[in-house]
Structure 1
């Protein structure tokens, strides 16, 4: 027959088994990249007076049969009817209730999730005041954190075991790209000036996108625009216009080009002499272009240029200085006449 000692050991063993099924400590340690974690209680009951450990940058939420109940911030909490008022009311617990209970416990990571990438999958079409309709691409990063754990748990998490950043960044990235694209289009900043406006556009993006993030319990803490790229043909057009602006005065530009050509020619086997004809043609072409540009802009050519042009186009005439009644040069051969001469001493013509 079993003795009293044997009965006691059986009773203690059963008590230990039952006690082992009750959860006495609830905590979450590993939170790398995880936004929400469901504590694995399963069918185990939570012991009344159990310890709930919520670390810094965490929040814990008790959910009773799908209904959000009590929320706990950082600290060590001893669970009881006093600090579980909503759960107590939902289950109609009496004061001093001390029986184990069942509840889903969710931990939320309240840290700032940084370096989340965004980028345009397809080109974004905008209207530029200088180049017209163009396509652009952009990329950068953003940061966010959970600001309202109740709203986020209700609207985003659902009943999953855990939620990582990878499970939500697709949705957030689409919102960021759409908001930045709309903002750049509405800002009407010329594409040539976009690179100098990245900081301003980033700050505007935060304020513009914040309402969408707040609606799901998040806070958008930062947006960074790293680069906005343009099609290759638009970049080449900008380079050509930059070259024209750098050249400035066309005459000075042609002189610069000539000096560069002379330097390059000196390094060639034929030397400068071998390229003289080409340089002369280039300088003449430069003068013609200068005159054409002046005509298009309504400017008259420079005095030196006008004089040179007249010297090139006007026929050469003998530079005789003739005055009525007192000739100094023969009108036939151009020889210099002596004073009061009546005939030229060279050709004999009458003066």
Structure 2
């Protein structure tokens, strides 16, 4: 081998490029490999590491995508680029192409939240304002599509840039999904897991359109104004509370407070008055008239009208569980809030079996559209 051949061989090795990217940041998603005039020598070595893809773009057209591995760049490994360039018999001179390295690792603990409260309509509380925030995780699952549709010619595309787009998409789809769920307002905070899964299913096609996979989506908190929280809390307490026991409890507490009052006759008079009220309540509970000693004493006939008959109470079935009893008005509220429906099983005192709501005469008014029967003909 002559001296000229040795020099030619040495120079040919020196001209072989190594195309690679060592990621030194935690937030870079796409990095463009910079070369002078984008020239890459024939037989250059391409090194794609784990968690990366290399995307070749020629004059704005997607040419090739390389998965992790080491490649020699020639017509064999660049079939699409060869077709675009029109090389029928190979190429020996440098070629021009833009090379983008795409980070395909999982980006976790990304934050999202509603910048402004959004409105929801509730049957009991009217229009209400709520906010929400949480986290999500994503990865690039189609590097070619992501580079062409999102990155464009950006030489260093970061996590911050894509997150601004994703957060807007998430908030839009979240508000749409929550609005269509039509849940009672107090159930949003208690059903964040189910809402998270539903929102992820709704958002995934939107992410796929730009080459992104939404790995996880979490709703951490759904918040509302403090006055609305108090109203919901009081409503739930009254819904479960026995008002008779509450009245007795408050009377006993008032009597106790009056007994501790050392303010003179006023305090004593208040204590006596509250004691009289409490004694009346206790006497009525035990069926003993006020002022009559306990024992087998003759009962006098009542001088006033008889007591008001007790309201009818109903039991209902929800998710295979018995609930109740509730009165007619409360049952109507449950039907209006869609907790129960026309096919819900109902039972009351005197019925032999559980019967669907639509078959009970006094409850048919819940269904609407009731009209009286026609008048008999003369």
The total of aligned residue pairs comes to 288
8 Å Cα contact 1:251-1:287 kept in structure 2: no
Counterpart-to-counterpart distance in 1, 2:89 and 2:275? 103
Alignment match of 1:28 (pick from 17, 21, 39): 21
The separation in 1 between residues aligned to 2:183 and 2:265, in whole angstroms, is 51
CA offsets per residue over residues 207-261 of structure 1, 9 Å max, x none?
A: 1011111111111111100111111221111122234345x22232233334445
**2:62 equivalent among 46, 63, 68:** 68
Match of 2:46 in 1: 52
The residue that corresponds to 1:252 in the other structure is 245
Would the aligned equivalents of 2:38 and 2:97 in 1 still touch at CA under 8 Å? no
Which of 262, 268, 274 matches 1:270? 262
Q: What is the CA distance between 1:273 and its match in structure 2? A: 9.4
Pairs within 5 Å for 1:2-13: none
| More deviation, 269-278/163-172 | 269-278
Mapped partners of 1:181, 1:272: distance in 2: 62
Equivalent of residue 135 in structure 1, options 121, 129, 138? 129
Residue from 82, 90, 99 that aligns with 2:84: 90
Deviation (angstroms), 1:162: 1.2
Alignment CA distance shift 1:95-1:205 (3 Å): same
Check 1:43–1:264 CA distance in 2 against 1; reply closer, same or farther (3 A cut).
farther
The normalised TM-score by structure 1 is: 0.72
Q: Which has the larger radius of gyration?
A: 1
Query: Is 1:160 the equivalent of 2:151?
Result: no
Question: So what's the TM-score if we normalise by structure 2?
Answer: 0.67
User: SS at 1:56's partner residue?
Assistant: coil
- Specify every segment of 5 or more residues in structure 2 that has no aligned partner in the other structure, as ranges: 292-297, 301-378
Q: Residue 242 of structure 1: which of 218, 227, 236 is its match?
A: 236
Task: Say if 1:12 and 1:273 are closer, same or farther in 2 by CA, change over 3 A.
Answer: farther
Q: Do the aligned partners of residues 185 and 278 (structure 1) sit closer, same or farther apart at CA in structure 2, a change above 3 Å counting?
A: farther
Following the alignment from structure 1 to structure 2, what is the Cα–Cα distance between the partners of residues 181 and 284?
57
Conservation of the 8 A alpha-carbon contact between 2:252 and 2:278: no
SS at match of 1:68: strand
- Given that residues 133 and 221 in structure 2 are in contact (C-alpha distance below 8 angstroms), is that contact kept between their aligned partners in structure 1? yes
Counterpart CA distance in 2 for 1:181 and 1:66 is 36
- RMSD of aligned Cα (Å): 3.5
Q: How does 1:1-351 map to 2 (within 5 A)?
A: 22=15, 24-30=17-23, 31-43=25-37, 45-245=39-239, 248-261=241-254, 270=262, 275-279=267-271, 281=273, 304-305=284-285, 311=290
**Does structure 1 retain, via aligned residues, the 8 Å contact 2:44–2:73?**
yes
**Structure 1, unaligned stretches of length 5 or more?**
1-6, 291-301, 313-318, 322-351
Residue aligned with 2:124, SS: coil
